[in-house]
A and B are shown apart, each in its own frame.
Chain A
Amino acid sequence: MERMPKWADVILTPLISLALAFGISALVILAIGESPVEALKVMVEGALGSSYGWGFTLYYTTNFIFTGLAVMVAYHAGLFNIGGEGQAALGGLGVALVVLALPWPHWALALPAAAVGAALFGALWALIPAWLQARRGSHIVITTIMFNFIAAALLNYVLVNLLRPVGSMDPASARFPAAVHLPKLSDMALGLGVEWGRNTPANVTFFIAIAACALVWLLIWRTRLGYEIRAFGKSEPAALYAGISPVRITVLAMLVSGALAGLMAINNVMGEAERLMLNAVEGAGFIGIAVALMGRNHPFGVFLAALLFGFLYQGGGELALWTSIPRELIVVIQALVILFTGALDNMVRMPLERLFMALRRKGA
């Protein structure tokens, strides 16, 4: 028997968690002598109140969709991939190498190639922890975390010693040629005769992210591999009984997961920065964990949660810009949202379940 209706599970629980997080955030803002109402107004206005705000919100959303999907796919196999940060960083390296290797005539040709490069590098970076887990039993949480640091160090080395143009003082790759410039959403709107989101980084990758949501849904719920991933994630003894190889599923799920994290680089490296820089991922890999948890490990949920975190990111930036609320407080708010929607999920869920059981008993 279901403990509570599905709508309560997927909508009510995260909403209450969110309300709690915002409630405590409001108390913190009050405590430093600012007005929470004013702060919320600034955030909403800054992130959603104009096409300019939306242009940034959707850019961040795109990042979080990829890293959220990455965590989600691994999670269905019972694997906790904390390495989205490193995989996305390596994805950036893949993009940079592909884009700089050939004189691409047009972005439409460069984009698929760069996507393959991003996915491949992200997947390979996830492959090592996956293999260590499957073959040697090294816990994937530990190894993926460590691989984030290795990725950062590796990128540092590659940027400083290999990709840095001669004479440049900046640890970054050369600028990508203008031909591979990805269309921004604002350009596309202009093409339709609409003035929307000028000078914002949201670009065509947003649509790739939405397509990725659909494809991941198909993979997990409609293919044999997805069936085996879910079966393995729910019960390893049962998977063995059915002849599903744990090694194969661990490796394949992590390859897909790493590829998704890597694909994020299409957005931030190719779509926005147009060159590879240090620390390009900016924590999106970790936000992906919260996005997947809050999205209940479903692509549609991931999309909505990514939108929320996109809003928090952009709105938080605006808050720091226009009020005297310090930048650190935005991190606090984001952390509270992660804490309540991710880590403290059961705190809201269990009383709700009891409430619904009680209601049902009364109705029966």
Chain B
Amino acid sequence: MPAAGAPHEVPAIELRGISKAFGPVQANKDIDLVVPRGTIHGIIGENGAGKSTLMSILYGFYRPDAGEILIGGKPIAIADSQAAIRAGIGMVFQHFKLVQNFTVLENVILGAEDGGLLRPSLSRARGALKRLASEYGLQVDPDALVEELSVGHQQRVEILKALYRQAEILILDEPTGVLTPAEADHLFRILRGLRDEGKTIILITHKLREIMEITDNVSVMRRGEMVASVRTAETGPAQLAELMVGRKVLLRVEKPPARPGAPVLEVRGLRMVDAEGVERLRGIDLTIRAGEILGIAGVAGNGQTQLLEVLGGFPEAGAKLQGELRLNNETLPLNGPGADGRARRRAGIGHVPEDRQAEGLIMDFTAWENTAFGYHHAPEFQHGVLMDNARIRADAMDKIQRFDIRPPNPDLAARNFSGGNQQKIVVAREVERNPDLLLIGQPTRGVDIGAIEFIHKRIVALRDAGKAVLLVSVELDEIMALSDRIAVMFDGRIMGERLPEEATTGDLGCLMAGVDPAVTPPEAAIPPPAAPGTDAGGGAG
């Protein structure tokens, strides 16, 4: 398999015949991988394709059942993460492993202290950080508390931690999931800088655009196997997507033009102040009509979650709400017992929540118990004073079949399904009730491409049946592909509305960063780091 980089050189990483099984599940099958020194290597694949398992083996979390790992040409056994660090491997996890109330400096030396006293380590680290910052453009205030940093800066701290530990090989797991476009661009500049200094970088992602933009080589995984390793320059997104799923997929959602009808949901002046007194929603006005999908774009943490929770009837405890909600011309209460999730369901609002594992499902319940969750008061599920479990189970079987939920076993606990199938359980439950309004948050987060396509089709079908859909997603591609109208949220406000056929990524990116390009020139489009109450910002530099 051809790969970029000088062929005569010893590769930074070489994997030979790596296999790993969890019980009957073969997570990695006979994987070969060669990553030349000084390159950025993308690893792409659907969820459950085995990317994370492979990287966990490389970082010493799992022992492979078979196979060999060579670092710099020498075979080594990586028993734990300490051994991986000694071998020069650094890992930046998707969910940062930072102590929130420590400073940047304290986080960097954590676990790498020189001795019992902190002061010498801290001053040594301060010098090292200064050097790294100027070398790679990794500027972070060493004395800032991590909790006060933007997400982009927190990620830099993770990278600094790895570099401080002399990492020559850096593994990044889905690094751009939480970043603004500007922050992602900055990250890519840093990564290119690191590569040019001779570091080797492995980038795990499911975003084809990132692969094309930044990697030198790309390896595709499918069902535990490495199906291809190619030079990025010699391939394209369509080919990679096909390799990932093993068949052609539609990168665009096919949908007939929308025929919007009467307003279904009208939101007027919706404000929410959370228990800490932070204003999360600052006067939201929205109208969603029957037969249309309104997409809400925005960087995570700008009030989208709160908007969904308020509409779905479960704002966080202690929140103060104000404003007006009307569903099909009838006012919905904002507070009190008539404003809970059950009342909202009865009014005709279905809700696929952003966090399916914490909210949408009871992970220890069986699939069939989960298919009634939230609708367990429905008259057809009752049998006198008892619940009609046989009926619920039959109903679940029906949903499993029509949504192709795999494995088709209603007695399996929800936690034992893959992410995509878990999401199908939630979507089946909410969509099959035929709600007048469907709230759907991050519908395809952590979901494989096959399931994404299926879920998108269901959303469009619901809209074509004359229902209203409110879609919240941090995936701009998804918003662009599905929405009939796009509203961008920033700092608890709707910054602007666009039609998808007119909107450009740059235009939306500006709105997402809190700047209306129609009003302000884009150069000023970067807000100060760590603006209060948001995760946005920090893209400067």
Contacts and interface: CB of A to CB of B under 8 A. Distances in A.
Partners in one complex: yes
A243 B363 contact: no
Residue from A222, A227, A228, A230 having most chain B Cβ neighbours under 10 A: A227
A188 interface: no
A243 B374 contact: yes
A243 B351 CA distance: 12
B387 A241 contact: no
B23 A360 contact: yes
Given A222-B387, A243-B374, A235 B23 contact: no
Contact of B359 (A228, A241, A364): A241
Given A218-B386, A361-B21, A364-B23, A242 B374 contact: yes
B364 A234 contact: yes
Interface residues of B, number: 37
Contacts of A228: 376
Interface string A1-31: 1100000000000000000000000000000
A241 B386 contact: no
Interface residues of A, number: 24
B91 interface: no
A297 to B, nearest CB: 12
Contact of B362 (A238, A245, A360, A364): A238
Interface string B352-371: 01010011111111000100
B345 interface: yes
A113 B185 CA distance: 75
Contacts of B82: none
A222 B376 CA distance: 12
B382 A238 contact: no
A1 B23 contact: yes
B342 A234 contact: no
Contact of B341 (A1, A224, A243, A364): A243
Contacts of A361: 21, 23
Interface in B5-45: 21-25
A237 interface: yes
Nearest to A248: B337
A185 to B, nearest CB: 32
B539 interface: no
B343 A243 contact: yes
A238 B21 contact: no
Interface string B334-345: 000100111111
Contacts, number: 81
Given A228-B376, A238-B360, A242-B373, A222 B389 contact: yes
A245 B358 CA distance: 16
B25 A1 contact: yes
B131 interface: no
A242 B22 contact: no
A240 interface: yes
A243 B344 contact: yes
Interface in B227-245: none
Nearest to A232: B362
A231 interface: yes
Given A238-B359, A240-B341, A357-B23, A1 B365 contact: no
A223 interface: yes
B341 A241 contact: yes
Contacts of A223: 385-387
Contact of A235 (B21, B314, B343, B358): B358
A243 B313 contact: yes
Residue from B337, B363, B374, B382 having most chain A Cβ neighbours under 10 A: B374
A245 B365 CA distance: 19
Given A223-B387, A364-B23, A234 B365 contact: yes
A56 B312 CA distance: 56
A141 B353 CA distance: 32
Given A223-B386, A224-B377, A364-B23, A243 B342 contact: yes
Contacts of B344: 243
Nearest to A241: B359
A242 B342 contact: yes
B359 A243 contact: no
Nearest to B343: A243
Contacts of A364: 21, 23-24
Residue from A218, A223, A235 having most chain B Cβ neighbours under 10 A: A235
B416 interface: yes
Given A222-B389, A223-B387, A241-B314, A231 B25 contact: no
Contact of B416 (A1, A218, A227, A234): A1
Contacts of B25: 1
B314 A240 contact: yes
Given A1-B22, A1-B25, A235 B362 contact: yes
Nearest to B359: A241
Contacts of A360: 23-24
A314 B337 CA distance: 51
Given A361-B21, A361-B23, A241 B374 contact: yes
B360 A224 contact: no
B382 A241 contact: no
A5 B539 CA distance: 52
A224 B387 contact: yes
Nearest to A137: B317
A241 B340 CA distance: 8
Interface string A130-149: 00000000000000000000
Contacts of B312: 241
Contacts of B373: 231, 238, 242
Given A227-B376, A238-B361, A241-B374, 5 more contacts: A238-B360, A241-B353, A243-B341, A244-B341, A364-B23
10 contacts: A1-B23, A1-B25, A1-B416, A218-B386, A223-B387, A227-B376, A230-B362, A240-B359, A243-B340, A360-B23
Report the 3 A-B pairs with minimum CB-CB distance, sorted nearest first.
Answer: A243-B342, A243-B341, A242-B374
Interface of A: 1-2, 218, 222-224, 227-228, 230-231, 234-235, 237-238, 240-245, 357, 360-361, 364
Interface of B: 21-25, 312-314, 337, 340-345, 351, 353, 355, 358-365, 369, 373-374, 376-377, 382, 385-387, 389, 416
